[in-house]
Amino acid sequence: MDKEMMPSSLLAHYNKEIVKKEIFEFSKNRWIALYGKTMIRYNGEEPLSLSSPEEVPSLVKRFNARTIYATAGKYEKVNKENVSGDKIVAYTPFFDIDTKIDKWEYAIKAADVIISALDKEGVSMSVYLLWSGEGIHVRINENAIPKDYDPLTAAHAIVQYILRKVKDEIKKLSDESGGVLKIDELIDAKRIFTAPLSFHKELDYVAVCFSPDKLHEFNLDWAKPDNFRHEEGVFSRYVEDETEELLSKAILEYKPTHEGIKPERRTTPQGKIGRFQVMGIVQAARYYVLYGDLPKAESFGLNRAIFYAWAKYYGKGYTPKVTGQKLPAEFRKDRILVTVAGEQVYQNPENGLFVIGDKEQTPEDYNREIKEKINAVIPYDKAWEATVKYVSSFPKEVLQNQREFYQKVYLPIRDAFIEKVVNRKSGLDAFFK
């Protein structure tokens, strides 16, 4: 492929509305870099940054640049006083999977390994992919990291932990590729990586982003500049604090290896239960209080936890990676839409379990996704007993109303479940102190 393109072709690309918008939205509060014949990081004495989408083509033209990079770290402000490593306020964890263009399929296989490992650790909805030219990045939205961790340390701990988990699978793929496939730990304070929809520094491909569920559809045609396929805004999707449980384990094994990364002050897991698990147990208790069927209650609890996470963070048009037992094709057309406690939900008419997509949520799935993760923090039986008692204290008309339940039962305790439900004092006043 040609290593250089005509400036007019580059400008035409960077003048596209979607390109300007995506590069700007991703690069806000990041220190950018431009690459043409050399790497440019400053405009005079000030570090380069973007203040509007229109600056994208103007800077490319001014500096005769081909590629746009941005820091993995984000800053409160990008100026010469504020871009040192200790000024980083958020950091995007990423796995840089490199290969050669004629063996690009190995990058896809390696990304699948990384995604699966993250999914097993409860991190999936904040993950997105970026085809970088001769490889792929698996990135995690920086907002999935709890704010009480040092962002740089947290990002490095996550990457280090996951790479240890998958090292044997990656080595096997690397050997099959003839040694061209590799994944390095590249988390450090000064790290830059390719901005979405930027041109590769040499190849005539652009960096396209897409969701993990599109991974096995990807081919190199997606990255062709004249007809690229890019999932708009995917890098902005996240579940707040989604990495918390993963981090509580990763930080215990963490060994700093790069300049600018310090040992984390938190050395033990924190006693906090994630919002997904809180929604699941509270919804299960809601069903149990109203209808008294524990297996269906657990199915309903997990179903609603998945639904609300999907609706809040992804909106319509996104196909979530759904937890549960896949249904046979002959059943899918026979599922029924029912109204339960004021919420419309699909149900298997044969066993009464609830369904999202083509999967039903079973009690076994509930145990894995809700019960076991709560049990890692506090005894689940204690949490369940307290939740049933808490939910029972509300009138039935509240429990049977979707909006009322969300606002009056779930919302006040979603970030303080242990304090307000498990360790609560008697009387409703204690819930809202």
Cα–Cα distance for residue pair 250/270, rounded to 1 Å: 13
pLDDT on residue 258: 57
pLDDT on residue 333: 54
DSSP bridge partners of 325:
360
Residue numbers in the chain where pLDDT is lower than 50: 1-6, 260, 263-270, 314-324, 326-331, 426-433
pLDDT on residue 334: 65
Which DSSP symbol is given to 198?
P
pLDDT on residue 240: 87
First to last CA, the chain: 65
Cα–Cα distance for residue pair 71/89, rounded to 1 Å: 12
pLDDT on residue 271: 56
Cα–Cα distance for residue pair 309/320, rounded to 1 Å: 9
- Quickly count: other Cβ atoms within 10 Å of residue 271's Cβ: 10
Render 258-296 in DSSP notation, one character per residue.
STT----S--S--S---HHHHHHHHHHHHHHHHH--HHH
Cα–Cα distance for residue pair 141/127, rounded to 1 Å: 6
Residue pLDDT, tens place only, 321-336: 444 454 444 445 567 8
Cα–Cα distance for residue pair 284/292, rounded to 1 Å: 10
Which DSSP symbol is given to 48?
P
Q: Output the six-digit token pair for 413.
A: 């305790």
pLDDT on residue 416: 85
pLDDT on residue 386: 95
Going through 126-206 in order, the beta strands assigned E by DSSP cover: 127-131, 135-140, 182-184, 192-194
pLDDT on residue 1: 40
DSSP bridge partners of 182:
98
